[in-house]
């Protein structure tokens, strides 16, 4: 019987270094001969990418309510799960996903959607397909804002104020505290090499029984 692949998600504030870490992990997985599908949310399928564009960059002077955002993220997630994540895991491919359901818990709850609503949606949408391991890249939002400045363009969440980003940080840390068996917090202000080393150490510890 084929061994099911492992499902790893990366979370954290904007500019925390998720994409940078994914590049490093991709090289290491290749070295270890582990087949991995690298993907992102919102997005990861053609339809979900369309939803991403609509959710993060709505037409000028248009905006979504917090609940609408939660529904959009979950709509994209369901398509992503059905067409990409579950088929990959069933074939024994590992999935490395840049953001997943914890981002909805953090961003949409800070935006005002009640936690019970978000959890009910999450349960209906992801079912049993929960991450085996979630790496949370944690850093002071003021430091991350400086990192992002060089990039220029901002989506609807990046454009929010520092207090919003501080609340997002607290929300991710609360998730890590509530689910310590699944989540590992990594200091995102370390060098990229040390962030990668910490991530690999967490992967080896948590998924050693693969
Ligand atoms: N969202 C998403 C919701 O509201 N609900 C949801 O359910 C979901 C899924 C998506 C947005 O959507 C929201 C949250 C987000 O606002 P995104 O595409 O994930 O956004 O975009 P970001 O999180 O903003 O991702 P970024 O690509 O901007 O940031 P990364 O990937 O975390 O950071 P990265 O690797 O691109 O690095 C940023 C910069 O820092 C440098 C890099 O070189 C780069 O210049 N850097 C470092 N510098 C020093 N030391 C390190 N260790 C560094 N690591 C990276």
| Cβ burial 106-121 (10 Å sphere, 16+ → b, else e) | bbbbbbebeeeebeeb
Cα(89) to ligand 1 centroid in Å equals 25
DSSP designation for 137: E
d(CA 31, CA 25): 10
CA of 31 to the centre of ligand 1 (A): 25
Ligand 1 contacts CB of residue 41 (under 6 A): yes
Q: How far is the CA of 10 from the centre of ligand 1 (A)?
A: 10
- Sole residue written with tokens 């104020």: 161
Average pLDDT score over residue span 160-171: 94
Best residue for ligand 1 mutational test, from 67, 103, 198 (most atoms within 8 Å of Cβ): 103
Give dist(CA 32, CA 15) in Å, integer.
Answer: 28
- Which residues does 143 contact at the CB level (< 8 Å), separation at least 6? 189
- Over residues 131-163, the pLDDT tens digits come to 999 999 999 999 998 888 777 667 888 888 899
What's the rounded mean pLDDT across residues 7-23? 96
Instruction: Give the whole-number percent of the chain exceeding pLDDT 90.
Output: 87
The answer on pLDDT for 126 being more than 60 is yes
CA 17 – CA 172 distance, rounded (Å): 15
Note the pLDDT of residue 117. Answer: 98
Contact 125, 86 (CB under 8 A): no
Asked if residue 172 has its Cβ within 6 Å of ligand 1, the reply is no
Q: Could you tell me if the CB of 99 is within 6 A of ligand 1?
A: yes
The pLDDT value given to residue 38: 98
Q: Is 16 in the pocket of ligand 1 (CB under 6 A)?
A: yes
Average pLDDT over the chain, rounded to an integer: 94
Q: Quick check: 207 pLDDT over 60?
A: yes
Ligand 1 centroid from CA 17, angstroms: 6
Which atom of ligand 1 is least distant from the CA of 10? 32
Label residue 1 by pLDDT band (50, 70, 90): very low
Instruction: Residue 170: count other Cβ atoms within 10 Å of its Cβ.
Output: 12
Alpha helices, DSSP H, located in the chain: 18-31, 46-56, 66-80, 86-90, 101-103, 109-110, 115-126, 141-149, 162-178, 192-206
pLDDT surpassing 70 at residue 3 = no
Atom of ligand 1 nearest to the CA of 22: 35
Considering only CA atoms, which of 97, 93, 102, 129 is closest in space to residue 6?
93
Across residues 160-168, what is the average pLDDT?
93
Q: What is the pLDDT of residues 67-92, one digit of tens each?
A: 999 999 999 999 999 999 999 999 99
Q: Return the pLDDT at 210.
A: 44
Q: Is the model's pTM score more than 0.85?
A: yes
Q: What is the pLDDT of residue 153?
A: 67
Q: What per-residue confidence (pLDDT) applies to 164?
A: 95
pLDDT (average), residues 26-55: 97
Q: Indicate whether 99 pLDDT > 90.
A: yes
User: Domains in the chain, please, with CATH?
Assistant: 7-207 (3.40.50.300)
Work out which ligand 1 atom sits closest to the CA atom of 188.
52
For residue 134 and ligand 1, the question of a CB distance below 6 A is answered with: no
CA distances to 13, 97, 184 from 7, rounded to whole Å, are 20, 8, 14
């Amino acid at each position: 019987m084929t061994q099911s692949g492992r499902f790893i998600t990366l979370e954290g504030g904007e500019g925390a270094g998720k994409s940078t870490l994914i590049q490093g992990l991709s090289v290491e997985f290749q070295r270890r001969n582990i087949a991995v599908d690298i993907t992102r949310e919102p997005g990861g399928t053609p339809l979900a990418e369309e939803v991403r564009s609509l959710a993060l960059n709505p037409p000028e002077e248009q905006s979504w309510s917090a609940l609408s955002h939660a529904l959009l993220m979950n709509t994209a997630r369901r398509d992503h799960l059905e067409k990409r994540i579950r088929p990959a895991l069933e074939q024994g491919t590992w999935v490395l996903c840049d953001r997943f359901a914890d981002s909805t818990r953090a961003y949409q709850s800070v935006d005002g959607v009640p936690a019970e609503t978000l959890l009910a949606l999450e349960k209906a949408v992801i079912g049993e397909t929960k991450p085996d391991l979630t790496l949370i890249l944690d850093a002071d939002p003021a430091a991350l804002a400086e990192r992002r400045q060089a990039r220029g363009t901002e989506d609807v969440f990046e454009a929010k104020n520092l207090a919003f980003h501080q609340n997002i940080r607290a929300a991710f840390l609360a998730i890590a505290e509530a689910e310590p068996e699944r989540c590992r917090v990594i200091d995102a202000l370390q060098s990229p090499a040390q962030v990668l080393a910490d991530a690999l150490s967490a992967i080896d510890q948590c998924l050693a029984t693969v």
